């Protein structure tokens, strides 16, 4: 835990180096050696401030997500529109961190420690989407709101993946189709 001014500054240098490395060389290139070298810090200093290497990586991702959060304070004022917009901004923005996030999620397919972290943040997001949905339609049951939030987030994640692999893919347009307010072009539902 950083308590002194110098400690906080070092923490920022480490996060900054981690951020830059994630952007430049990807998750596989982020080694402790690289981080400490770029931050001009000894390994001891690093572990004085972070519990593990992953701890620093997740903190960088957390901050990146928070930076596009329409309601960082958790006041409950964000709409579904806002949330979808934030997700799209995160995925299609200039920050390469979205890429890292998806790669980590992929790694979570085999690494239980990462899976639990990814899952935790996923569940938090589902809750957020479900709340917004219920706020827009108070008659909706909580269970249904959660189910819809799961589908919407699944869709957004998948679309984000496509967008990252295919730069010409228009994620925003497709994402907007997911919104209940969207009244698009016509396909009568099949019976």
**Site residues for DNA per CB under 7 A:** 1-10, 30-33, 40-49, 52-54
Cβ closest to a second copy, residue 12 vs residue 24: 24
Which whole-number Å values give the CA distances from 25 to 20, 53, 148, in the listed order?
8, 16, 36
DSSP state letter for 79: -
The answer to whether residue 82 forms part of the interface with a second copy (CB under 8 A) is no
Radius of gyration over alpha carbons of the chain, in Å?
A: 19
The answer to whether residue 157 forms part of the interface with a second copy (CB under 8 A) is yes
Q: Which listed option, a second copy, DNA, none, makes contact with residue 10 (CB within 5 to 8 Å by class)?
A: DNA
Residue pair 4/26 in contact by the 8 Å Cβ criterion:
no
Residue where the block lists tokens 């990586």:
57
The answer to whether residue 159 forms part of the interface with a second copy (CB under 8 A) is yes
Closest distance of CB 38 from a second copy, Å: 16
Q: From the CB of residue 11, how many other CB atoms can be counted at a distance below 10 Å? A: 21
The answer to whether residue 38 forms part of the interface with a second copy (CB under 8 A) is no
Number of shown-chain residues binding a second copy (CB under 8 A): 60
Stretch (H or E) spanning 1:
none
Q: Which region among 9-17, 33-41, 87-95, 136-144 touches a second copy (by CB under 8 A)?
A: 136-144
Q: Which listed option, a second copy, DNA, none, makes contact with residue 190 (CB within 5 to 8 Å by class)?
A: a second copy
Tokens at residue 96, please? 């390469």
Binding residue for a second copy, selected from 2, 23, 89, 115, defined by CB under 8 A: 115
Q: CA 50, CA 27: separation in Å to the nearest integer? A: 18
């Amino acid at each position: 835990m950083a308590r002194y001014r110098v400690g906080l500054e070092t923490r920022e240098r480490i996060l900054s180096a981690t951020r830059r490395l994630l952007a430049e060389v990807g998750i596989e290139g982020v080694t402790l050696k690289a981080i400490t070298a770029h931050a001009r810090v000894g390994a001891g200093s690093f572990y004085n401030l972070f519990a593990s290497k992953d701890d620093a990586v997740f903190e960088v991702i957390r901050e990146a997500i928070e930076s596009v959060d329409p309601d960082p304070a958790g006041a409950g004022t964000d709409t579904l529109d806002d949330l979808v917009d934030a997700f799209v901004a995160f995925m299609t923005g200039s920050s390469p961190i979205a890429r890292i996030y998806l790669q980590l999620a992929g790694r979570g397919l085999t690494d239980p420690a990462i899976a639990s972290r990814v899952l935790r943040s996923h569940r938090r997001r589902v809750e957020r989407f479900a709340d917004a949905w219920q706020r827009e339609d108070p008659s909706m049951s909580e269970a249904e709101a959660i189910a819809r939030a799961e589908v919407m987030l699944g869709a957004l994640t998948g679309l984000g993946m496509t967008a990252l692999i295919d730069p010409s893919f228009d994620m925003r347009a497709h994402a907007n189709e997911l919104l209940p307010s969207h009244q698009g072009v016509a396909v009568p539902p099949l019976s």
